[in-house]
């Protein structure tokens, strides 16, 4: 009886921790997107997926991604099909290359204003369409 209740308690802890994790993930998702009215210095998490041959953010193909100068930006990058990465030369940003179903992330400070390009550096993916604008205001 006692063993059973310890087991039940552990089970509940795992369930609650899992639920909290999911809730956290969802609240991160609400920061995703092209909000331009962000406050400088905040953490901006952007979920980007790569496929053959485009990037998708919030259901939009190769959207312009905005950040404020001073923002800490987290790019959560996932490949839904094919081998891809996410690169912004001017910001020294590049993820490792990930294959179908894999994900990775890169974090950096948007420390200079300007209009830059993000792209995939694998093969000729950039020329095939894996490119978009990254604007820091
Ligand atoms: Cu690619």
pLDDT tens-digit readout, 1-18:
455 565 554 444 454 454
Going from the Cα of 33 to the center of ligand 1, the distance in angstroms, rounded, reads 21
What token pair was written down for 79?
């490949």
Going from the Cα of 120 to the center of ligand 1, the distance in angstroms, rounded, reads 5
pLDDT for residue 30 is more than 80: no
Mean pLDDT in residue range 29-36: 43
Mean pLDDT in residue range 103-116: 97
Q: Cis peptide leading into 53, omega within 30 of 0?
A: yes
pLDDT tens-digit readout, 38-91:
556 689 999 999 999 999 999 999 999 999 999 999 999 999 999 999 999 999
Going from the Cα of 64 to the center of ligand 1, the distance in angstroms, rounded, reads 17
Going from the Cα of 26 to the center of ligand 1, the distance in angstroms, rounded, reads 27
Q: Measure the CA dihedral 59/54/112/74, to 10°.
A: 60
Q: Identify the weakest region by mean pLDDT among 16-20, 57-61, 109-113, 117-121.
A: 16-20
Q: Are strands 103-109 and 72-79 parallel, antiparallel or unpaired?
A: antiparallel
Going from the Cα of 13 to the center of ligand 1, the distance in angstroms, rounded, reads 40
Going from the Cα of 128 to the center of ligand 1, the distance in angstroms, rounded, reads 9
pLDDT for residue 102 is more than 50: yes
Hey, how many other C-beta atoms are within 10 angstroms of the C-beta on 38? 15
Query: How high is the pLDDT of residue 113?
Result: 97
Going from the Cα of 44 to the center of ligand 1, the distance in angstroms, rounded, reads 23
Query: How high is the pLDDT of residue 4?
Result: 58
Query: How high is the pLDDT of residue 22?
Result: 44
Query: How high is the pLDDT of residue 58?
Result: 97
pTM above 0.75, yes or no: no
Class of domain 31-136 (CATH, top level): mainly beta
pLDDT for residue 99 is more than 70: yes
Distances, alpha carbon 133 to alpha carbons 6, 7, 63, 102, 114, in Å: 53, 52, 7, 24, 10
């Amino acid at each position: 009886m006692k063993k059973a209740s310890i087991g039940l308690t552990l089970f509940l802890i795992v369930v609650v921790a899992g639920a909290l994790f999911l809730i956290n993930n969802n609240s991160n998702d609400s920061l995703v997107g092209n909000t331009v009215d962000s406050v400088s210095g905040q953490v901006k998490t952007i979920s980007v997926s790569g496929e053959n041959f485009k990037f998708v953010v919030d259901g939009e193909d190769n959207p312009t991604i905005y950040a404020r100068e001073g923002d800490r930006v987290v790019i959560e990058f996932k490949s839904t099909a094919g081998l891809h990465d996410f690169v912004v030369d001017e910001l020294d940003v590049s993820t490792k290359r990930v294959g179908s179903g894999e994900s990775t992330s890169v974090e950096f400070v948007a420390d200079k204003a300007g209009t830059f390009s993000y792209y995939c550096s694998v093969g000729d993916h950039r020329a095939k369409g894996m490119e978009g604008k990254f604007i820091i205001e």
